[in-house]
Amino acid sequence: MVNESSSPLPPKVIAAREAARKALGPLLPAGDPRNFEQSRCLMLSSRTNAGRELPPYYLVYFLLVDFLGFPHLGRWEKTAWNVPVRLNGRLYGIEHRKMGLGVFAPALDPNATRSGNPTEEQEGDAREIVALIRRAVIAAEPYFEWRAEQAASGVHLNVLNRSSSLYHRYKFFRNRYRELNDEYQRRKDEKEVIKRQHEHGTSTTVRFPPDHLSQEAQWNAQAAVDAFFSWTEHVFIHLAILQGRAQTGADVAALADADWKSKFKAALDLSSAESKQHYDLLLGLRQQIRNFMAHGAFGKRGEAFEFHSAAGAVPLLLTGKQKRKYSFTGAPAFVDEKAISDLDKFVEHLWSGAREPAKEYVESGLPMILSYVHDGTYARAMQSCDEMSGFLEHLMYQFDSAANMDW
């Protein structure tokens, strides 16, 4: 924040501040109440319809409070913050309540005991306030960019946690594969014999209706493998944070940009023989799946051509390597059932040993709080599953209270 950061403001940000102030025009900080009624009327204010069109709450707060130094009234029950402003001398509140951000019009009747409806003049003022703030937000864009860079380099960040959703996507395709494969196994001997009479005699066609089940099972197995690697790309980052191996926003951003191998190594120790075995197996499967699904899907082993020879048609494989692009030989094609089984075995390994306490946190959906890496909170919680359960109960209460604005 401008009023908290020790970093000097770049010239373009200083220029943006002047531009933002100019863009606000007649919209000014409210200052002290001008009479007794004004000291209470904002407490009975009512939401304007026009105020629903304000930019996101964080941009408004950063613009008015952080960047331009408008005073705010702090938080109270169901309210995160309130910035009193004046437009052409008339008092309004820009307030972030539980039900959202808005421009709130004060109760003008000194005898009012509850909020009423905004007047036409107040709705007109609210439209002007929204338009002025929108103009100022555009003018303040260099500040928001600078502010984002400052935030990313620190530890006061939450890393969003989508692990549960991504894992359930994997389970959906895995379970669907097994359902289809089981049905195919039960019906694979079914066949349909169709005989047709024509002028030259009789022809017989044999169809195998269950074949489509085998095809669909294979598609779902491939989708499950792809979903699994998508989940691991995400969950490895969270495990790295919980184990203190990613500590700042810059660390997390670098890890997010890294390849799957780097993420795996940040989450699991390859000096463990069991982890190394899983790593090698999964890496081979990932390479095959990537070659097959992301590079044209010619064949599970990379078969893109058939080479004509005296021996007959010979598959010519694309290796995916720069030095040796083609080959007649390659790794065996992955088998769907074995691949799915190997993935499930890795999941069991992932949540074993010292990583076991992390499972409950990752599956909770709560974000990772980088400041907890620095103050030792996560290290203490990772000591046992009981420690993690107690910590999560406390953390969930805090998040629920914040969501309800129960300060």
The first and second tokens of residue 123, run together, are: 């709705």
Q: Is 6 helix (H, G, I), strand (E, B) or coil?
A: coil
Give the residue from 389, 349, 166 showing the smallest Cα distance to 269. 349
Could you give the CA distance from residue 77 to residue 55 in angstroms, rounded to a whole number? 23
∠ at Cα 120 (117, 121), nearest 5°?
Answer: 110
12-63 pLDDT per residue, tens: 999 999 999 999 999 999 887 666 565 666 777 889 999 999 999 999 999 9
DSSP notation for 277-307: HHHHHHHHHHHHHIIIIIS----TT-EEEEE
Question: How is the beta sheet containing 312-318 ordered, strand by strand?
Answer: 303-309, 312-318, 326-327
pLDDT recorded at residue 8: 80
pLDDT at 220: 94
Instruction: Check residue 40 and give its pLDDT.
Output: 62
- Residue 238 phi/psi, 5-degree rounding, is -70, -35
* Those residues with Cβ within 8 angstroms of residue 337's Cβ, 6 or more apart along the chain or in another chain: 181, 221
Angle at 261 between CA 259 and CA 267, to 5 degrees: 105
DSSP-derived secondary structure letter, 76? B
Q: What is the pLDDT of residue 293?
A: 55
pLDDT for residue 292: 57
Coil/strand/helix, residue 193 = strand
Torsion (CA) 130, 136, 140, 141 in degrees, nearest 10: 60
Cα separation of 349 and 344, whole Å?
Answer: 9
In the chain, domain spans: 11-152, 158-193+222-403
Please name which of 92, 74, 118 lies closest in space to residue 29, comparing C-alpha atoms. Answer: 92
Instruction: Give the pLDDT confidence score for residue 386 in this predicted structure.
Output: 97
Phi, psi (deg, nearest 5) at residue 117:
-105, 145
pLDDT in tens, the chain (407 residues): 454 445 688 999 999 999 999 999 999 998 876 665 656 667 778 899 999 999 999 999 999 999 999 999 877 778 889 999 999 999 999 999 888 999 999 877 666 666 678 889 999 999 999 999 999 999 999 999 999 888 887 778 889 999 999 999 999 999 999 999 999 999 888 877 777 777 777 777 667 777 889 889 989 998 999 999 999 999 999 999 999 999 988 899 999 999 999 999 999 999 999 999 999 999 988 877 765 555 444 444 444 555 555 655 655 554 555 444 444 344 444 568 888 999 999 999 999 999 999 999 999 999 999 999 999 999 999 999 999 999 999 999 988 888 777 65
Q: Count the neighbouring beta carbons within 10 Å of the beta carbon of residue 73.
A: 15
